[in-house]
Structure 1
Amino acid sequence: MSETFATLIASLQQAARQGAFGRLRRGLEKEGLRVDRRGHIASTPHPQALGSKLTHPHITTDYSEALLEYITPVYCRPGDAIDFLADLHRFSYRHLGDELIWPASMPARLDGNDSVTIADYGRSNVGTMKHVYRKGLDVRYGRIMQSIAGIHYNVSLPDELWTLLQARDGRQVMSVDDFRSERYFGLIRNFRRHSWLLLYLFGASPALDRSFLPAGERPDKLQAHGRDTLISPYATSLRMSDLGYQNKVQAQLKICFNTLSNYVGTLRHAISTPWPAYQALGVNERGDWRQLNANILQIENEYYSDIRPKRVTRHNETPSQALEARGVEYIEVRCLDLDPFLPLGIDEARLRFIDAFLMWCLLSESPWIPDDECNRLDDNRRLVVERGRDPALRLLQQGRERSIADWGGEIMGEIAQAAALLDALETGTPHADAVAALVPWLTDPALTPSGRLLARLESSGEEFLEAILAIAREQAEQMREAPMDPARAALFDELVGTSHQQQREIEAADLVDFDTFLARYFASARESRAATVDSGAAQ
């Protein structure tokens, strides 16, 4: 551990005891593919009994009708978010009949591109836009990629912490909003430098069903296991590999998160700059909308990244306009696979580790990332995704080759110090315990979720589909038998009816046709909102 970091941690202990680190706000977004009893992707519509996927605040869909997405409220205690997520699963299983929620990131059995049905959000303009956006993803990347599931973890740090750090840094001449954004971007840069550690520890997708790939296609990195399974012996997360959410067109954007203005400007350029290959696909062909536009990005959400700066948007405001106007409010961690061995794909201990990791990213030095370093970071992530459990693997740190065990062990030592700050007002040491529990995984890859899944396939001889389907059935039985919080059950019942009513009201309120609605949306999206910063922000 560097002396500078050790000194910093020691100087923050008193502030931690006074609560400066004690009220992180956390929320979860968790995807899960609906499958039939055979482990094939469900062809049924999103159940009406779960509410409207357009307006329900907690149960929606991501890309397809079959890809459930659960959204928890924001909580200060990670266990509360986990409990809410569990009740969402229990409620769903009351209405899924024989269907199951697939517990792995790589999808169940598919039957070609068309077996992944694009989600339908109704006849309103906003619902149509969501549907056409997904049609655009289909023509650009195919629907198969959109059947992959994961977990997004949203975290915002307490206001007291920003006040403390701003005073320590002597940056009171800046507005609090500007300082917060600057430090969040520093956190993001360090996350980008070291997200390979999360991919190693929590990657859980080293295998897939053959139906994920076109017939007869098998990349060199994959080996046959049985008749219908392909594995990558040392891989951690095929979901995060070039088989999953990667895009060569977006790679030329080179977003390395040095400043908020650069980030917003790059996204605005991408949503307004045509791309020839996308132009060739067509946009609106005689009333048949194929994509929202032919630009590098249709909308900002199309940009794939393992972490994003975020702010809650206001009416008629895009995500980047919200950031530009009022700064970063929270960050969204997007590189987490579903762990099939955990009923919810994640648990409280892992959330607490990620909290400690993020705090370490915030407090560590974080210089800007030049283009050449940006490329090296991409290389490190790719190596861990494809070969993270290979004992011979070496990553590059400032020109020096290092093993995961060596470099990861050094990082873990500092993360443990950051965890102590988070534990200052906790009962016990849950963050430090979460860090300590993962340290042995650095030297024993068999303990990782990817290692455990491959070990099961190899020892049992099961196909990927067989193994995950057996786990899904066990988890479904547990969820169906477990009681729900009564007040939460009543809330979910009420939200079904109110969400359907809200969708009907939105549809009835539309006053212009879709073409006009979309033209107005993109005209507004191209506007800068930097001049609309709240007058109190600079106080």
Structure 2
Amino acid sequence: MSEQLARRIEGLKGAAQRGLFARIRRGIEKEGLRVDQQGNIEQTPHPRALGSKLTHPHITTDYSEALLEYITPVFCRPQDALDFLADLHRFTYRYLGDELIWPASMPARLNGNDSVPIADYGSSNVGAMKHVYRRGLDVRYGRIMQSIAGIHYNFSLPDALWSELQQLEGESEASPNAYRSRAYFDLIRNFRRNSWLLMYLFGASPAIDRSFLEGRDAGLEHHGERTLLSSTASTLRMSDLGYQNKVQSQLRICFNSLENYVGTLRHAIATPWPDYERLGVQQEGEWRQLNSNILQIENEYYSDIRPKRVARHDETSTQALEARGVEYIEVRCLDLDPFLPLGIDETEIRFLDTFLVWCLLRESPWIPDAECDRLDDNRARVVRYGRQPGLTLEFEDGPRLMSTCAHEILDELASVAQLLDSGDETAPHQTALKTLAPRIDDPGLTPAGRLERLLREQGCDFVDWVTEQARQQAEWFRATPMDRAREALLEQLSETSHIQQRDTEADDDVSFAEFLGRYFERARQPHTFQKA
């Protein structure tokens, strides 16, 4: 263990005993396709009884009309977040009829690009912008890539803990916002260095239905009638088959500072790209994309982790970061675990919290371009070959066994877990580490390993197995009761969200073109950082 990590753990023991780590705040965003009983992506509209996709705070859609997205409130106790997420599923199943929620990251059976319906958010300018943005993703990358689902995990430390850490580091002259933002970027850089471990431990997508590739060759093994399978991959979702953008790779964002991050994104949103210009922004009066720049908006930039700040109504996400600093971070590299009804459980959450605090507390030098390239290469190796015996990763001093690196990380995580468990006799973080540690030496224990083994043993196709899993999970959600207060809340939100959408549509007083012009004019304006 490094001297800095040991010093910080020792210096925070008092804060841990006072329960400050128990106030860690987390929220979960979970995506899931609606499918029919045969495992085909649904073509039906988002059920109206679930509320407005545009304005509902907890139930919406991501890219597709068929891609449900659940958003929990922020909680301090992991189980509270999971309970809320479970009730969102229970509430939804009341209005799905025979439809199922697909519990895997790689999509159900598709029938070409047009079989993935783009989400419709109504006639307001805000809703039209969300829809046209998705049209832009279609013409740039295709819809099939956008049918992939995952878990996003939002994480932040309480203000009192930030004060303790700032005092421990003797940085009283820095404003709280500036110190917190700098420290979150320290966390993000260490996450980027080591996120391969999460993709190995929690990767759950070693198989795809052949409809996903539309006849393209991906070097995967043919299995059953329709399945393409990898004996080594941890997460095909995070591979070059999933979310990839070669144009974005030129941005070279390695998260060395908030200023660099915001400036690079703002440049990308304002810089035309020839291939996108050739596609055209409008065609015969129909909008094809919001603009022809490297990024239409900030959300188009894909990374396995993002700094976040809740934006005000007149701000873009980068302006919010620029004005008030980083509020929380969003982990985006997690597959849905099809063996879990919610796609995630408390063991995974406790491990994530330990890992993220470790990323925050250990040294985090800036990442030069050469290291940035190595990190991308290491991630690519693990997502496609993470379960291959003897896999090595590249470092400045040469190659090292992935398993050796993983054990070294877990040794350091053990001290962080002890810190987080101070005063808690159940030791949930240490228990999570002990539960997951055997996966390092036995890839068959990972979700990807388990899924591959089941498909081979049963001789069944990926879509058939996941569809049956979805049926069983649907029965469980329908058979277990909802929290009554939450049930009443969701029923009310479904009604009020439709009213809010109608009000939004009625309030529009400019054309969509003028609305977009004003939006991007504001987006180009820097916001002054607030020191308080």
TM-score tier, shorter chain, comes to: over 0.9
Distance across 2 between alignment mates of 1:339 and 1:350: 10
User: 2:332 matched to which residue of 1?
Assistant: 334
- Mapped contact 1:22–1:424 kept (Cα < 8 A): no
* Deviation (angstroms), 1:420: 1.5
Q: How many residues end up aligned between the 2 structures?
A: 532
* Deviation (angstroms), 1:348: 1.1
User: 1:369 matched to which residue of 2?
Assistant: 367
Equivalent residues in 2 for 1:12-51, closer than 5 Å: 12-51=12-51
Distance across 1 between alignment mates of 2:11 and 2:302: 37
- Mapped contact 1:339–1:345 kept (Cα < 8 A): yes
* Deviation (angstroms), 1:496: 0.9
Greater Cα shift, 105-114 or 394-403: 394-403
User: 2:70 matched to which residue of 1?
Assistant: 70
User: 1:188 matched to which residue of 2?
Assistant: 188
Cα RMSD after superposing both structures:
1.0
Aligned match of 1:407 in 384, 405, 408? 405
Letter in 1 for 2:264: T
Equivalent residues in 2 for 1:58-137, closer than 5 Å: 58-137=58-137
Distance across 2 between alignment mates of 1:452 and 1:403: 22
* Deviation (angstroms), 1:287: 1.9
Paired residue secondary structure (1:261): helix
User: 2:265 matched to which residue of 1?
Assistant: 267
Paired residue secondary structure (2:303): coil
Letter in 2 for 1:244: G
Paired residue secondary structure (2:465): helix
- Mapped contact 2:4–2:363 kept (Cα < 8 A): no
* Deviation (angstroms), 1:442: 0.4
Letter in 1 for 2:182: E
- Mapped contact 2:392–2:399 kept (Cα < 8 A): yes
* Deviation (angstroms), 1:197: 0.2
* Deviation (angstroms), 1:427: 4.5
User: 1:426 matched to which residue of 2?
Assistant: 424
User: 1:219 matched to which residue of 2?
Assistant: 218
Distance across 2 between alignment mates of 1:232 and 1:106: 13
Paired residue secondary structure (2:337): coil
1:238 equivalent in alignment to 2:236:
yes
Distance across 2 between alignment mates of 1:358 and 1:425: 20
Q: Normalising by the residue count of structure 2, what TM-score does the alignment of the two structures yield?
A: 0.99
Paired residue secondary structure (2:383): helix
Distance across 2 between alignment mates of 1:199 and 1:28: 18
Distance across 2 between alignment mates of 1:131 and 1:483: 35
Distance across 2 between alignment mates of 1:385 and 1:251: 18
- Mapped contact 1:22–1:158 kept (Cα < 8 A): no
Paired residue secondary structure (2:23): coil
Distance across 2 between alignment mates of 1:167 and 1:6: 16
Distance across 2 between alignment mates of 1:36 and 1:29: 23
Distance across 2 between alignment mates of 1:283 and 1:397: 43
Letter in 2 for 1:393: L
* Deviation (angstroms), 1:188: 0.1
- Mapped contact 1:356–1:422 kept (Cα < 8 A): yes
Report Cα offsets for 1:411-453 as digits up to 9, x if no partner: 0011111112211243520011111111111000000000000
- Mapped contact 1:22–1:425 kept (Cα < 8 A): no
Question: Which ranges of structure 1 fall in alignment gaps of 5 or more residues?
Answer: none
Greater Cα shift, 15-24 or 47-56: 15-24
Distance across 2 between alignment mates of 1:324 and 1:118: 32
* Deviation (angstroms), 1:9: 1.8
Paired residue secondary structure (2:82): helix
Paired residue secondary structure (1:170): coil
Distance across 1 between alignment mates of 2:8 and 2:327: 24
- Mapped contact 1:104–1:340 kept (Cα < 8 A): yes
Equivalent residues in 2 for 1:238-317, closer than 5 Å: 238-317=236-315
- Mapped contact 2:310–2:317 kept (Cα < 8 A): yes
Greater Cα shift, 410-419 or 24-33: 410-419
- Mapped contact 1:149–1:338 kept (Cα < 8 A): yes
- Mapped contact 2:403–2:440 kept (Cα < 8 A): yes
Greater Cα shift, 506-515 or 163-172: 163-172
- Mapped contact 2:2–2:362 kept (Cα < 8 A): no
Question: Which ranges of structure 2 fall in alignment gaps of 5 or more residues?
Answer: none
Paired residue secondary structure (1:309): strand
Letter in 2 for 1:206: P
* Deviation (angstroms), 1:487: 0.7
- Mapped contact 1:187–1:366 kept (Cα < 8 A): yes
* Deviation (angstroms), 1:20: 3.2
- Mapped contact 2:11–2:168 kept (Cα < 8 A): no
Paired residue secondary structure (1:37): coil
Paired residue secondary structure (2:89): helix
Distance across 2 between alignment mates of 1:350 and 1:117: 32
Paired residue secondary structure (1:22): helix
- Mapped contact 2:17–2:423 kept (Cα < 8 A): yes
User: 2:167 matched to which residue of 1?
Assistant: 167
- Mapped contact 2:107–2:149 kept (Cα < 8 A): yes
Q: Normalising by the residue count of structure 1, what TM-score does the alignment of the two structures yield?
A: 0.97
